[in-house]
Chain A
Amino acid sequence: MKRLLVYMKEYRLRAFLGPFFKLLEAIFELLIPLIVANIIDIGIQSGDKSYIWQRVFLMAALGVIGFLCALTAQYFAAKAAVGFSAKVRRAVFCKIQNSTFSDLDEFGTSTLITRITGDINQLQTGVNIALRLLLRSPFIVGGAFVVALTIDAKVSLIFLAAILLLGAIVFLIMRYTIPLYQNVQKKLDKVTLSVRENLYGTRVLRAFGKEREETERFHGENDSYYTAQRFVGKISALMNPLTFAAINFAVIFMIYVSGSQVNKGILLQGEVVALVNLMSQILIELIKFANMIVTINKSLASARRIENVIYAESERNLPFYTQPGSGNRKEPAAFLEFSDVSFAYKNAAEESIYHVSFSAERGEQIGIIGPTGSGKSTLCSLIPHFYAATGGEVLLDGVNVNTIPEKDLRKRIGVVLQKNALFQGTIRENLLLGGREIPDEKLELALAAAQATEVALQKGGLDGKIEPHGRNLSGGQRQRLCIARALAGAPEILILDDSASALDFATEAALRKAIAALPQKPLTFIVSQRVSSVMHCHKILVMEDGKLLAQGTHEELVHTSPLYAEICRAQLSTEVAK
């Protein structure tokens, strides 16, 4: 939480004024029982009606002033809480935008989304409540004691005892029940899991005839949830009766002690009335305080999770990550060269790419084939510096890609990732992603090359609407638009990472021809598990376990690479394989 306070800086004054006005309100509230005592002991005793009127008027005035103070306090608290959380939310979002691919892998998408939504909302609630109540409740409780002390020292000891006793009851019950409630929640999660499984796995469970066993299992989960719930219910049901009894027994003692004080002439009748009123205020505030602690605890947990994101170390901000012009320019041996490249994912035990070397020229089509997890995608993601090679160099025109400013590098490369990502907006906005300025004619050409003209027309042309995640398109349609987006920037290198998997064979062939005919003659990488997608390439890289097993044309590889030949045999009928 501490490190998040930076974002509170701008709201320092408001964060101070909120609780301050809240304290003022609390003071006015504490004065009321004293005024009542005055009315009884002075006004009524002396029969002075004008005094009574005057005091009642004072009470009403204090009520109004208290109200104004409260409003001011609420305003400042709300302003500080909302402003603070907006700042934090922005910080988290910017941090995510500045993440490298490894950072993103480490956090995981769903975690980041819950942090920026749920956790920050929880934080806002927590800050707001803390600013309003964190000081108020202890102040009223302590204040009631102080006021009691000014009335009578002896009686105030009973107050002290009552406060301690109530505090202990509330604290103990909460301490026992909070972990128990977590346990209940866990049991409920199991009940939910059982339901989920039976819904998602219906076919399998029914095929295996597991209905009876599953019903028994659910009964078990449900029963253990019930038992846990009943147990914690018994304890937490103690809260109300115990605090009720404690406060009223304190009142009994107090009346008895005040009785003797009145008898001695130390206390007046009205003061006893005031003491009784003060006592009931303590109970209400303590319970409020207990509930608030629960909320604030939750918010603190959220704050910690948010902090972990904002203050996570990222390589992207380190100086070596991009140093324009600092790379030693070598005499380019080829347009793109992998020179003894190795790569290991962060925290991974083994390397995913192992001493890979190859070179490629403009206009070439390079196919990459191999089993899942063999490092095909990883290999490609080193070219746009999504990840930095941990050994060797990836050279573009003789310059290590890690030394080329990220923006310049990525402008030259068009990528279609495995997961097809389209965003809410128009087709044009999607094609122009990254704030590029490209005339409509060029966009039309890109659509045509990507075999996506039909798709765009169906949705109403470049202004056609795309729903979030491209939900209103089929998998194949999304793939084509993503390819068009990569082509729109007229890239020098084009990477298609398993991007034609949802296309039928004819469309895929047309796409390959269209790419070959592009005026800028891009170097194209085609990653696939299908031989038919890569067999026409100028060069095919055969990968397994991060190693480059073989490279060459289809005709060469059929004879030289046993793995490639095996894949061909499995996928193609014999006559074509030859």
Chain B
Amino acid sequence: MKNSTFYKVLKLLRPYGFWIFLSLFLSLFSVAVSLLIPILVGSAIDFMLGAGRVDFPSILKILAAIGVSVGTAALAQYGTALCNNHISFRVVFDLREKAFSKIQSLPLSFLDRCPAGDIISRMITDVDVFSDGLLLGFSQLFTGVLTIIGTLIFMLAFNWKIAIIVVLLTPLSFFLAKFIAGRTFSLFQKQTVARGEQTSFVEEIITHQKTVSAFGAEEESIRKFDALNDKLEKVSLRALFYSSMVNPSTRLVNALVYACVCLAGALSVLANPAFTIGSLSCLLNYASQYAKPFNEISGVVAEFQNALACAERLFTFLSEPEESSDRSLPELCDVRGEVLFDRVSFSYTKDRRLIENLEFKASPGQKIAIVGPTGCGKTTLINLLLRFYDIDSGSILIDNTPIDRVTRRSLRQNFGMVLQDTWLKSGTIRENLFMGNSKATEEEMLDAAKKTKAHSFIKRLPKGYDTVIGEEGGILSEGQKQLLSITRVMLLSPPILILDEATSSIDVRTEMQVQKAFDALMRGRTSFIVAHRLSTIQEADCILVMQKGKIVEKGTHEELLKQKGFYYTLYYSQFA
């Protein structure tokens, strides 16, 4: 599993091979130069032995060398950063593009099952963590390792005894940090738990603050809060304090190593004239630098694992099976509106049969109402008609054409639907209304809005039809959103209409007015109406009464009442 993820990551990076190579090359260069600088500084110091014994020409030469090195190293550093930026930003861009087209071609059966928040976090957070962790981590790891190796070589070249002191002692700080981090991990977990408990308590109380207040439960909730708060305070203090021991501890170890190097260095200078003060300065410099990459690398490893985990989550998403392709299929056009369900069976999950051998026919222009208790399969019918889901057996025909023999896009263009959960895109009201029919004129839009009574509230909005509505219709009430989605369909005027509880959130008075507009819209169009309120469907040409995925009764309102069956019971329970 891990290996295949890693392989996929490599495949993803292949187009950027050149940039990766360039980045590595430049960082190799800048590391080498930055290690050279302490040596140069050291040798410059060696040329200032005391009053009147300073060799200026030599010092100037060295300083010039330092200047050139610093300049080129700075350029190389900048180049590395730009390369890394290029690679990581591009990879993020590519991944998000891929994921988005993936969303467009996934079947609804997947999207309905998988929480949207999960997909969003894969596409946004995981992709970021992946690029930061893997690419930046990679370059940090590379420079880190190079620095350690380089420092080691230079130190060994100077004085192997001191080098060994540094090599043996410095990792101590690294292990100490690891040790403390390991110990504090459980404290952090406890803190997370305590914080989670408090958050969920607070969230629950505040969400229902009005109820709390109505029952005078304020003191009670403060008491409970205090208990959670005290607990959190105690755990937080311990977690915060113990974790903040890491830096001082590593500093202590480094300080001790530094002292050792200083001692060994000073004694070496006395013992061996070839070992100069400049060399000592250089060694001290190295000793203080040597610890840094160790700490960085330990962080990188964790980030690396995290990045791979994120990549894996994303790759899993990208490899979900897609909808069958309909590129080669013909378009469905000039629809009259005859709909036929021929022995249709369907189930969401294999183990629970839902719709079995469903049969019915709607002639062009007919008004078909579907009623029945929750979960009887009303909404499923709509899913099947629009091919959001594919049926298991049988066939659905529109004007004698099976719907799986035409493109989905052309099929759906013949439908107008208003659903119970209205969805509007963020944008202006006008953009939303034109969504179904971008060719409509301004007059047609105004006309449609007046018919649905949406015009009366739109004109009162601060910017009228140009008012920007937030994500999912933010500032509008549920009823107003429904009016907009009805207008949207009105403007499209498709041959077949689907109204799934289309007026459930509209208040009684407006509903009565909208009903007239609906009646006008439905004239001459095949329409499917799902409703709880039985009063709205009495005029239907045919009422399908559904129960447990089957049509149990079929007929007009009067016929069904005469039958005194399930519909009769449903109808009269309203007045019990």
Q: Are A245 and B71 in contact (CB under 8 A)?
A: yes
Q: Are A93 and B222 in contact (CB under 8 A)?
A: yes
A72 CB to nearest B CB, Å: 10
Nearest-CB residue, chain A, relative to B507: A371
Interface string of B35-70 (1 = CB under 8 A from A): 001000100110111111110100110010011001
A423 is contacted by which of B67, B208, B252, B511 (Cβ under 8 Å)? B208
B538: A residues at CB distance < 8 A: 573
Q: Are A272 and B108 in contact (CB under 8 A)?
A: no
Interface string of B194-225 (1 = CB under 8 A from A): 01000111111111111111111111111001
Q: How far is the CA of A433 from the CA of B221 in the complex (A)?
A: 10
Interface string of B1-22 (1 = CB under 8 A from A): 0000000000000000000000
Q: Are A56 and B263 in contact (CB under 8 A)?
A: yes
Q: How far is the CA of A571 from the CA of B508 in the complex (A)?
A: 9
A263 is contacted by which of B54, B93, B258 (Cβ under 8 Å)? B54
A264: interface (CB < 8 Å):
yes
Nearest-CB residue, chain B, relative to A469: B204
B215 is contacted by which of A94, A263, A433 (Cβ under 8 Å)? A433
Q: How far is the CA of A219 from the CA of B203 in the complex (A)?
A: 37
Report which residue of B236, B413, B533 has the largest number of chain A beta carbons within 10 angstroms of its beta carbon. Answer: B236
Q: Are B209 and A99 in contact (CB under 8 A)?
A: yes
Which of chain B's residues 76-128 have a Cβ closer than 8 Å to chain A? 77-78, 81-82, 85-86, 89-90, 92-93, 96-97, 100-101, 103-104, 108, 111, 116, 119-120, 123-124
B157: interface (CB < 8 Å):
no
A252: interface (CB < 8 Å):
yes
Majority secondary structure of chain A interface residues (helix, strand, loop or mixed): helix
Nearest-CB residue, chain B, relative to A249: B70
A193 CB to nearest B CB, Å: 6
Nearest-CB residue, chain A, relative to B115: A199
Q: Are A421 and B216 in contact (CB under 8 A)?
A: no
B462: interface (CB < 8 Å):
no
B302: interface (CB < 8 Å):
no
A229: interface (CB < 8 Å):
yes
A469 is contacted by which of B56, B207, B262 (Cβ under 8 Å)? B207
* Segment touching B, from A63-71, A331-339, A354-362, A442-450: A63-71
**A199 in contact with B51 given A36-B262, A97-B218 (CB within 8 Å):** no
B220: A residues at CB distance < 8 A: 433-435
B149: interface (CB < 8 Å):
no
A234: B residues at CB distance < 8 A: 82, 85
Majority secondary structure of chain B interface residues (helix, strand, loop or mixed): helix
Which of chain B's residues 365-396 have a Cβ closer than 8 Å to chain A? 386, 388
B176 CB to nearest A CB, Å: 11
B415: interface (CB < 8 Å):
yes
B111: A residues at CB distance < 8 A: 199, 202
Q: How far is the CA of A421 from the CA of B206 in the complex (A)?
A: 11
A506: interface (CB < 8 Å):
yes
Q: Are A571 and B284 in contact (CB under 8 A)?
A: no
Interface string of B397-419 (1 = CB under 8 A from A): 00000000000110011010101
B258 is contacted by which of A32, A93, A193, A262 (Cβ under 8 Å)? A32
A39 CB to nearest B CB, Å: 5
B461: A residues at CB distance < 8 A: none
Q: How far is the CA of A225 from the CA of B97 in the complex (A)?
A: 12
B411 CB to nearest A CB, Å: 9
B49: A residues at CB distance < 8 A: 262, 269
* Segment touching A, from B240-248, B353-361, B518-526: B240-248
Q: Are A372 and B435 in contact (CB under 8 A)?
A: no
**A255 in contact with B511 given A64-B252, A237-B85, A264-B51 (CB within 8 Å):** no
Nearest-CB residue, chain B, relative to A69: B248
Q: Are A215 and B202 in contact (CB under 8 A)?
A: no
A40: B residues at CB distance < 8 A: 266, 277, 280
Nearest-CB residue, chain A, relative to B221: A97
Q: How far is the CA of A25 from the CA of B255 in the complex (A)?
A: 12
B539: interface (CB < 8 Å):
no
B259: interface (CB < 8 Å):
yes
B73: interface (CB < 8 Å):
yes
B171: A residues at CB distance < 8 A: none
A162 CB to nearest B CB, Å: 13
A90: interface (CB < 8 Å):
yes
Q: Are A435 and B217 in contact (CB under 8 A)?
A: yes
Q: Are B573 and A256 in contact (CB under 8 A)?
A: no
Q: Are B408 and A206 in contact (CB under 8 A)?
A: yes
Q: Are A219 and B511 in contact (CB under 8 A)?
A: no
B281: A residues at CB distance < 8 A: 273, 276
Q: Are B108 and A226 in contact (CB under 8 A)?
A: no
Q: Are A191 and B252 in contact (CB under 8 A)?
A: no
Nearest-CB residue, chain B, relative to A269: B277
A295: interface (CB < 8 Å):
no
Q: Are B45 and A116 in contact (CB under 8 A)?
A: no
A116: B residues at CB distance < 8 A: 202, 206
Which of chain B's residues 263-300 have a Cβ closer than 8 Å to chain A? 263, 266-267, 269-270, 277, 280-281, 284-285, 288
A-B contact pairs, 22 of them (CB 8 A): A40-B277, A71-B245, A79-B241, A86-B236, A191-B96, A192-B124, A195-B123, A197-B472, A200-B472, A204-B417, A204-B419, A206-B408, A206-B412, A229-B89, A238-B78, A244-B70, A258-B48, A259-B56, A262-B49, A262-B50, A277-B284, A529-B508
Which of A's residues lie within 8 Å of B, judged by CB? 25, 32, 36, 39-40, 43-44, 47, 49, 52-53, 56, 59-60, 62-64, 66-67, 70-71, 74-75, 77-79, 81-83, 86, 89-90, 93-94, 96-99, 101, 104, 109, 112-113, 116-117, 121, 124, 128, 132, 188, 191-211, 214-215, 218-219, 222-223, 225-226, 229-230, 233-234, 237-238, 240-242, 244-245, 248-249, 251-252, 255-256, 258-260, 262-265, 268-270, 272-273, 276-277, 280, 371-374, 384, 386, 406-407, 410-411, 415, 417, 419, 421, 423-424, 433-436, 468-469, 485, 504-506, 509, 529, 532, 544, 563, 566-567, 570-573, 576
Known interface pairs A66-B248, A226-B92, A273-B281; 19 further A-B residue pairs with C-beta atoms within 8 A, sorted by A's residue number: A47-B270, A86-B230, A93-B229, A196-B471, A202-B103, A203-B417, A205-B425, A215-B101, A245-B74, A256-B59, A262-B49, A269-B50, A277-B284, A372-B477, A372-B507, A374-B507, A384-B214, A468-B204, A572-B575
